[in-house]
Amino acid sequence: MKREEEVIIKRHPASFPPKILDVIDLLLEQFDNALLWVPSRLLDPFAGIGGVADLSRDGETYGVEIEPEWAEQAMARGVITHIGDSRHLPWPNGFMGAICTSPTYGNRLADKYYPNMSDSKHWKRRSYRIYLGRPLTPGNSGAMHVGDDYRNLHRSVWAECVRVLAPGGLFLLNIKDHSRNGVLQGVPDWHVKTLEGLGLVLLERKEVPLRGDQNTATMRKLGVAVVDYELVIVFQKPSLDASCDASDESDDLLF
């Protein structure tokens, strides 16, 4: 009998921790009134292996993932997954009722170094490049440390997300800061400022205690400043009624 070909599963170094998903579930429930009049569809524009499929919610779950190996795993978990670049989303304006995502943090997971994995001292190293087992596809933010390329890519993705998000819909962002040469990089604050600049309204910012990965543990031992929590930040896209009300108030000021 011919032996079946072994299927190699490409792991992902930064899938949603259960603790984060629990917090997202609670926040979605807390703000569910905002979703009464918007579509039940939820999008993760950086889907990875489809962790958002584990959220406790009704409705369709969509994702975009640039690496086919990870996109296939998201599909297997029930995420309607588009393989491509989130700077060009394939859906019309207002198609999604909610967006929930954890973008890359621009930290050491973006390292391009590929170690000799036969050497035991490297077994605990983590990066997108190492876990995928090949160079990342051009346009994958997993290869970008914080800098102009990182900011330009995410600014374009966030603009597309705001476009496809229905008025009144929620945007939930899971993000974490990190230090470089002992200096915190201000990654969450940059994302918040950018999303607010695109018209979203900040509703809540919640800290979730998490001790981090092996890279964080190493920095902690060296006495380098580390962040022992991740953030889940909730935004809302203003409803059409709110926009009209603001316009009416502006008109009143003219008379």
**Phi/psi of residue 35, nearest 5 degrees:** -100, 5
The 10s digit of each residue's pLDDT in 202-246 is 999 999 988 665 556 665 666 656 778 899 999 999 987 654 444
* Pure H helices in the chain: 18-30, 68-76, 128-132, 148-164, 187-197, 214-221, 240-253
On the question of pLDDT at 254 being above 90, the answer is no
Establish if 12 belongs to a structural domain. no
Establish if 10 belongs to a structural domain. no
Establish if 25 belongs to a structural domain. yes
Q: Is 53 in contact with 75 (CB distance < 8 Å)?
A: no
The 10s digit of each residue's pLDDT in 48-94 is 999 999 999 889 999 999 999 999 999 999 999 999 999 999 999 99
Establish if 1 belongs to a structural domain. no
Q: Which domain holds residue 51?
A: 18-253
CATH number, position 136: 3.40.50.150
Q: Is 44 in contact with 63 (CB distance < 8 Å)?
A: yes
Dihedral of CA atoms 212, 217, 220, 224 in degrees, nearest 10, equals -80
Task: Check residue 54 and report its DSSP letter.
Answer: G
Predicted TM-score (pTM) of this structure? 0.85
For 57-85, b/e burial (b = at least 16 CB within 10 A) is beeebbbbbbbebbbbbbbebebebbbeb
Establish if 101 belongs to a structural domain. yes
The HSE-up count of residue 205 (CA atoms within 13 Å, CB side) is: 9
- Measured distance CA(37)–CA(240) in Å, rounded: 11
Establish if 3 belongs to a structural domain. no
Number of domains present in the structure of the chain: 1
- Measured distance CA(117)–CA(246) in Å, rounded: 58
Establish if 8 belongs to a structural domain. no
